[in-house]
Chain A
Amino acid sequence: MNKLIILIFLLINFTDDDTKSDQFITRQGQVSFFSYTSVEDIEAKNNQVLSIIDISKNEIAVSMLMNAFVFKKSLMHEHFNESYIESDLYPKATFEGNIIDFDPSETDTQTRMVKGKLTIHGITKEVEIKTTIEQVNGSFVLNGDFEVTVKDFDIKIPPILAPNIAKVISIKFKFEYQHYEK
């Protein structure tokens, strides 16, 4: 009898695990950045950002290829990759963190803080980023913006180009997740 109970218990647990995963993924997340100065405005967008959230642990991970940012001018793309970000040495920017007080059952849009480690150009900083979380068809959409100070990430701008690049860069993100089938 005891064995039967254990068996039933195991069955229920396993079937439960099979049918619902707590992970959601996007492979087509969007991250844009903007640098506004009196000399010129620079804007670039990455449409292939990877992100996974785990709603049972409130964890979020983001990864992107720096050379996949698209600029309006190819010269900007070249400077960004070869001189500033050095994407051969540091091909990815990543973020790993926790969504504080995230309630996955909430159907209204929630605004939450995400706390974690942002790595750009091989330098890791603790950051807090505000995001909205919207539930759409049983999945989630995260939207937000934040600012990054160029010198925090040891990014060297040659003096001659310093007036062209903002000291603080605005970053926008939009991640539309789908259920991650395991």
Chain B
Amino acid sequence: MEMNAVSADITISSEELVSSFMVDERSANSMYRGKVIEVEGIVKDVTFLNNRNTVFLYGDNKYSSVICDMFPNQENEIKNLKKGQKIKIKGVCKGFLKDAILLNCMLINTTNQ
């Protein structure tokens, strides 16, 4: 999927996204699952495990986050991210395990806004 070309169906904060799944997974699935969503949140962690570039955004509680699996072309931008930084990410929401999972993610450049 070419994420550049598609606009987000929904804009939401990472805390709200996690909390809506924790409150009612079924209704959150019907709202977000399979949709392109734009998530604003604070960087909790960045990992490069298994050759994936993954950004974790803080959820509304200590145990759950938003896991963003980034496009490979985002690698340089991801390397410059700092924990605690506020960012916006666009991706496809796949659902929730202990965390909300987003695939095909890209950073949305907010510096020139």
Contacts and interface: CB of A to CB of B under 8 A. Distances in A.
Contacts, number: 48
Interface string B12-37: 00000000000000000100011000
Chain B: interface size category? 10 to 19
Contacts of B6: none
A67 B98 CA distance: 16
Contact of B95 (A25, A27, A70, A91): A91
Contacts of B99: 27, 50
Contacts of A92: 95, 97
Given A47-B69, A48-B69, A48-B101, A68 B95 contact: yes
B29 A91 contact: yes
A65 B54 CA distance: 17
Contacts of A174: 50
Interface in B63-113: 67, 69, 94-95, 97-99, 101, 103
B49 A28 contact: yes
Interface of B is mostly: mixed
B94 A68 contact: yes
B93 to A, nearest CB: 10
A47 B103 CA distance: 10
A67 B34 CA distance: 9
Contact of B67 (A25, A30, A48): A48
Contacts of A25: 98
Contacts of A70: 103
B11 interface: no
25 contacts: A25-B98, A27-B98, A28-B49, A28-B52, A28-B67, A30-B50, A47-B52, A48-B101, A48-B103, A50-B97, A50-B98, A50-B99, A64-B97, A65-B94, A65-B101, A67-B34, A67-B94, A67-B95, A68-B95, A70-B103, A74-B1, A91-B29, A91-B33, A174-B50, A176-B49
Interface of B: 1, 29, 33-34, 47, 49-50, 52, 54, 67, 69, 94-95, 97-99, 101, 103
Interface of A: 25, 27-28, 30, 47-48, 50, 63-65, 67-68, 70, 74, 91-92, 174, 176
